[in-house]
Amino acid sequence: MRILTWNVQWFRGMDDVVDVRRVLAHAMDWGGQPEVLCLQEVAQHMPGLAGAGEADQVAAVAAALPGYEVFYAPAVDDWRPGRAARQRFGNLIASRLPVWQAQHRVLPYPPDASVPSMPRALAAVTVQAPWGPLRVGCTHLAYYSARQRVAQAQALCDWQREAAAVAAQPPRADAEDGPDTPFQLRVHTVDALLCGDFNSPPGGDAWRVLAGVDAPPAVFHDTWTLVHGPEPQPPTFRVHETGAVPLACDFIWVTPGLAARVLGVRVDGATTLSDHQPVCVELSNDGPVRVMR
């Protein structure tokens, strides 16, 4: 099973061309037809973004990926007087696995007047993986504000702790609440995969929170570290930007129960179809097959 994450910069390549289909075609080809695709910086009706125009990129993704179900969690959702459509910007998950439910979340947005900022969100769905239910989270943390970024990373850990607690003590069944009511029983699971653009390098502020470096035990494990040990992850941002310092900030994390399923994780350092590089993880469908380092 493969899951690919990519900050697509509203599908704008380093050549300044915005093209949803060419980005998705590359993701499908390089990622080996991933079962789940997680994208950040997907826009709807955002003409202020260079080349985006009034396009509905969520609809364009759905049209380009037949057989996938698309779930969108806009972090920005603005309505301006005189506009015919809301302006949205956020995270998208496309799955060709059955989806039990979607439970998106708004992430913390503490004040930080010293820097520019925008709201952030977590797109989250529970899919039916070959071995059982799996929660998949797709997010994009604050770029300028360390205060916001750390608060958001802490909230992601809380998301996992809360979901694990509910899975351990699921809601009771009630005969009056049938399958088509808001109180219907849902699928809950401890296992989760979290991916996206964390705007924090390995060992950086948000990375340390997610890895439980300063407050063990760890809620998540970095899949690159699981597979490659001390070998540094290749950079995933500004790799092809002239004069810039490349940075690794796009990661795929798994909860401890999934760590043994991680077969491999890789970074596409060659593509120039965004200012970020895609990352893909492969998980075993047949149970634990490797030993954690």
23: which 2 tokens? 């980005």
Tell me the β-bridge partners of 253. Answer: 194, 222
Q: How, if at all, do strands 221-222 and 250-254 pair?
A: antiparallel
Whole-angstrom distance, CA of residue 254 vs CA of residue 261: 10
What pTM, to 2 d.p., does this model score?
0.96
Residue 288 lies in a domain: no
pLDDT digits (tens, 9 = 90+) for 44-72: 999 999 999 999 999 999 999 999 999 99
In a domain, residue 157? The reply is yes
Q: Is 289 part of a structural domain of the chain?
A: no
Question: Coil, strand or helix: which one is 196?
Answer: strand
How many domains does the structure of the chain reveal? 1
State the pLDDT at residue 293: 28
Averaged pLDDT of the chain: 95
Kindly give, in sequence order, each residue whose CB lies less than 8 Å from that of residue 172, ignoring residues fewer than 6 positions away. Answer: none
Is there a domain that residue 176 lies in?
Answer: no
- Would you say residue 292 lies in a domain? no
* Domain containing residue 261: 2-170+181-283
Q: Which of 151, 147, 154, 9 is nearest to 89 (CA)?
A: 9
Task: Let me know if residue 245 belongs to a domain.
Answer: yes
Taking the CA atoms of residue 51, residue 120, residue 94 and residue 43 in that order, the dihedral angle to the nearest 10 degrees is -20
Cα separation, 132 vs 130, in Å, equals 6
Task: Tell which wins on pLDDT, 179 or 292.
Answer: 179
Distance from C-alpha of 238 to C-alpha of 162, rounded to nearest angstrom: 35
- Is residue 175 assigned to a domain? no
CATH number of domain containing 221: 3.60.10.10
In-domain check, residue 10: yes
